[in-house]
Amino acid sequence: TMTDFTQLTADTVAAYLASRRALAAVIDADRIASVREVGDGNLNLVFIVEDAGGASVVLKQSLPHVRTDPSWPMTRERSAREATVLGEHQRADAEHVPALYDFDHEHFVLAIENLSDHRVWRNELNAGRVHEYAADAIGSYVARTAFATSPLGLDPLEHKALVARAVNPELAQITEDLVFTEPYVDHPHNGVLPANEPDVAALRADRALRREMGLAKFRFMTTAQSLIHGDLHTGSVFVRPAGGFDRATDARASVRAFDSEFGFVGPTGFDLGALWANLILAAARAEALGEPDRAELVLSLPGRLWGAFEREYRALWPERLDPRVWGDEVLEQLLAGIRDDAAVFAAAKAIRRIVGFAKASDIETLPPAEREGAARGVLHAGRSLALTRHGIADVEALAAESLASLRAA
Ligand code: SR1
Ligand code: MG
């Protein structure tokens, strides 16, 4: 009888691998030594598979519902979107994404490079290890992928074909709801410590903030600049320092953006803002744990992120496809717009991690007394960033202001 691969289990993974001709060169399906299910996100099954010869692969399968809430249906087509993003981003910047070996549209399975010698950046930040180099790498990654998948680097017909191929309405709607809407209304997804309820009430009473969030949501929904990752928080980034974690190899530092199922052709600043927001959360944790120097170091990283992005974008600018109309003044305006978007998206994404459905371990694993102050600090920092960012070209200054907000809360 044929094995059913609709929902993989540790017991069916070997048979599944044997059924995928494209993976024969990657792993020996007849000599599988171990299968571990390691998914820890909100949505998918993730298996790390090793064979007896030491070769390995990651299988990621989307479920037809939210993993953490089976009553919440979710399109499995998100796997196809992730395959599109991985493929396009690999072409633009292979250094900063995992390799994609195979995509099985029938069973919604991606076979991806195993990066087990890396660690998730959020977990490292939570443990007090900052990995500053990762901010530079992600800045370059966003610039290279944004340039290559925008009309600056893509023929206009190809760009529109990409817009169509990458359309991701259901997952975009999750972001529209969870990031831009629900935190500002009463919704069963929301929840904060009782002591933070007045902070949320103040947030919702702030008309200027609600206006900025409404405008940001509109830009998120209507902008088609470049193929974005779509969920580029610190839990979507793998890091490995030079020499590896055990300092036993001569490997170079490595940084990879993974888990791009929320990707679509959207506003470039959204990816930068996602990372920036999560750096605010990491700094709030450090501050709450009485480590102000580390909080300051973490909040130097939005500046490094932006600096690396801008440097790489400027370096690519001479390659733009149509210099007849895209002169250097256009570059300055584009950069200013992306920076302004990044700042307001950072504000939105920081606030949603405190108020809304998807919380962040940086804050959630703090003891309640520290959590209350950290949550208040993040809400203040987000609000202030959204309202004061206009016309401020200096991301370092904006991040320094976030540190002051965390401390004043
Ligand atoms: C139901 S999905 C909840 C969140 O998890 C992902 O990481 C996205 O940020 C999404 O909003
Ligand atoms: Mg995810």
* CATH class of the 119-408 domain in this structure: alpha beta
Alpha carbon of residue 131 to chain centroid: 17
From the CA atom positions of the chain, what is the Rg in Å?
Answer: 21
- Ligand 2: centre distance to CA 319 (Å): 33
Q: Is 174 in the pocket of ligand 1 (CB under 6 A)?
A: yes
- DSSP conformation class of 10: T
Say how many Å lie between the CA of residue 325 and the centre of ligand 2: 38
Contacts of 255 (CB under 8 A, 6+ apart): 96, 133, 134, 137, 138, 141, 237, 238, 239, 240
Å from CA of 162 to ligand 2 middle: 22
358 lines ligand 1 (CB under 6 A): yes
Q: What is the pLDDT of residue 68?
A: 84
The complex scores an ipTM of 0.98
Start-end of CATH 3.90.1200.10 domains in the chain? 119-408
Ligand 1 pocket, residue 231 CB under 6 Å:
yes
Question: Candidates 178, 351, 353: which one to mutate for ligand 1, based on the most atoms within 8 Å of Cβ?
Answer: 178
Q: For residue 39, how far is its CA from the centre of ligand 2 (angstroms)?
A: 10
Those residues whose C-beta lies under 8 Å from the C-beta of residue 176, and which sit 6 or more positions away, are 217, 220, 221
For residue 52, the CA-to-ligand 2 centroid distance in Å is 30
Look at residue 90 in the predicted model and tell me its pLDDT: 98
80 lines ligand 1 (CB under 6 A): no
Query: Which atom belonging to ligand 1 lies closest to the Cα atom of 69?
Result: 1
CATH 3.30.200.20 intervals, the chain: 13-112
List of the chain residues with pLDDT < 70:
1
Nearest ligand to the C-alpha atom of residue 173:
1
Nearest protein Cα to ligand 1, atom 9: 231
Ligand 2 mean position, distance from CA 145 (Å): 19
Cβ of 75 closer than 6 Å to ligand 1, yes or no, is no
Asked if residue 182 has its Cβ within 6 Å of ligand 1, the reply is: no
How do strand 56-62 and strand 44-51 relate by DSSP bridges?
A: antiparallel
Interval between CA 233 and ligand 2 midpoint (Å)? 9
Ligand 1 atom with the smallest distance to the CA of 43 is 2
pLDDT at 247: 82
Taking the complete model, does pTM exceed 0.95, yes or no? yes
Which residue's alpha carbon is nearest to atom 5 within ligand 1?
Answer: 42
Structure tokens at 370: 């520290």
Instruction: Kindly report the protein residue whose alpha carbon is nearest to atom 3 of ligand 1.
Output: 358
The confidence score (pLDDT) of residue 250 equals 85
Tell me the C-alpha distance between 24 and 81, whole Å. Answer: 24
Q: How far apart are the first and last CA of the chain?
A: 63
Q: Which atom of ligand 1 is nearest to the CA of 262?
A: 8
User: Per-residue pLDDT tens for 129-154?
Assistant: 999 999 999 999 999 999 999 999 99
Any atom of ligand 1 within 6 Å of the Cβ of 63:
no
State the closest ligand 1 atom to the C-alpha of 178, by its place in the atom list counted from 1.
Answer: 11
- Fold category of 13-112 in CATH: Phosphorylase Kinase; domain 1 (3.30.200)
Record the tokens describing residue 24, joined without a space: 């024969």
Nearest-angstrom CA–CA distance, 178 and 191: 12
- Please give the pLDDT value at position 93: 98
User: Which atom of ligand 1 is least distant from the CA of 235?
Assistant: 7
Q: How far is the CA of 253 from the centre of ligand 2 (A)?
A: 23
The pick from 40, 42, 233 for probing ligand 1's pocket by mutation, whose C-beta has the most ligand atoms within 8 angstroms, reads 42
Residues ≥6 apart with Cβ < 8 Å to 394: 303
- Please say whether the beta carbons of 54 and 65 come within 8 A: no
- Is there an atom of ligand 1 within 6 Å of 29 CB? no
Q: Assess whether the C-beta atom of 387 lies below 6 angstroms from ligand 1.
A: no
Task: Please identify, by atom number, the ligand 1 atom nearest to the C-alpha of residue 236.
Answer: 7
Atom of ligand 1 nearest to the CA of 175: 11
Residue closest to 78 by CA, chosen among 311, 285, 262: 262
